[in-house]
């Protein structure tokens, strides 16, 4: 769990009217769900908007063992005393901040039960252990994200939960935008970034290859950062693109062949 207040805006290149929608949702106390592939900018978007609205941001990376108690809080032993310690969701409600649940479908089922009263007209958080019922102030906002491509029967957001949120679909940027993003984040010149983005397009368009997803913008930034630091193209792409995308020898070789085609 990470808590951050940013004095300056983290860089984010809008793809449409998503910033306006986020701000309107915040102003009206509406929850927001972000859908899209890994590394396409969902988390950076939330960080950018939290800084723009000058709101504290409580980010929770959801996982299989994340329970409602992890979000709400629990009693802990401190200095020989048992004291109540708020979790990130409770802190966000108390302070009127933004709570961002990244990959919410990974959390345990009891988490959605806690979220439901915060995502309708009640806007309340029940803390059974302390007997409190917190009313969310006007500045509080609940944001969640997930990757639809990874959903299966056991890890699926129920319609009853999805329909409590406004929703935005994210995807990888168009080539011109992605070049600008990667160049800005890595400090690599645009001329050297362009082939990276072209390579990413080829990888994302591959069919019949054992890849769960195409290369993310995040990985392109990693590769460009290595190159900006003086590493050669082949070595940078091996570490930042080929190895992260697959463990299969034949798939990695096919990716290397693509690199040779683009940079040949």
Task: Kindly tell me the burial class for residue 209, based on how many C-beta atoms sit within 10 Å of its own C-beta (0-12, 13-18, 19 or more).
Answer: middle
Instruction: Give the largest CA-CA distance in the chain.
Output: 67
More confident residue, 221 or 157: 221
Give the rounded percent of residues in the chain with a pLDDT score beyond 70: 94
More confident residue, 205 or 186: 186
How far apart are the C-alpha atoms of 213 and 204, rounded to whole Å? 7
* CB contact set of 120 (below 8 Å; sequence gap of 6+): 164
- pLDDT at position 93: 97
- pLDDT at position 214: 85
Banded pLDDT at 8 (limits 50, 70, 90)? low
- Counting Cα atoms < 13 Å in the Cβ hemisphere of 180 gives 10
Please tell me whether residue 32 adopts helix, strand or coil conformation: strand
Tell the residue number behind the tokens 């683009």, with chain if given.
Answer: 262
Banded pLDDT at 55 (limits 50, 70, 90)? very high
What sign does the dihedral 229-233-235-237 (CA atoms) show?
A: positive
Each residue of 151-164: pLDDT tens digit?
554 567 888 889 99
How far apart are the C-alpha atoms of 115 and 63, rounded to whole Å? 16
- pLDDT at position 153: 45
What CATH code would you report for 2-169?
A: 3.40.50.300
């Amino acid at each position: 769990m990470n808590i951050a207040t940013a004095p300056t805006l983290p860089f984010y290149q809008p793809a449409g009217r998503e910033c306006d929608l986020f701000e309107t949702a915040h102003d009206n106390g509406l929850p927001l769900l972000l859908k899209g592939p890994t590394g396409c900018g969902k988390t950076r978007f939330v960080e950018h908007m939290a800084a723009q609205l000058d709101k504290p941001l409580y980010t929770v990376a959801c996982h299989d063992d994340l329970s409602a108690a992890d979000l709400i809080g629990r009693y802990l032993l401190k200095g020989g005393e048992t004291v109540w310690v708020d979790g990130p969701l409770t802190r966000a409600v108390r302070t009127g901040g933004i709570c961002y649940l990244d990959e919410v479908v990974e959390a345990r089922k009891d988490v959605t039960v806690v979220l439901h009263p915060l995502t309708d007209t009640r806007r309340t958080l029940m803390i059974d252990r302390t007997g409190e019922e917190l009313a969310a102030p006007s500045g509080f906002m609940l944001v969640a994200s997930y990757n639809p491509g990874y959903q299966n029967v056991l890890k699926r957001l129920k319609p009853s939960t999805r329909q409590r949120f406004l929703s935005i679909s994210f995807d990888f940027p168009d080539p011109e935008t992605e070049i600008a993003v990667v160049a800005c984040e890595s400090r690599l010149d645009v001329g050297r970034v362009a082939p990276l983005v072209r390579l990413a397009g080829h990888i994302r368009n591959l069919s019949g290859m054992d890849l769960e997803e195409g290369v993310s913008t995040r990985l392109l930034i990693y590769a460009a950062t290595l190159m900006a630091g003086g590493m050669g193209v082949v070595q940078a792409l091996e570490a930042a693109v080929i190895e992260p995308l697959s463990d299969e020898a034949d798939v990695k070789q096919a990716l290397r062949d693509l690199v040779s085609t683009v940079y040949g």
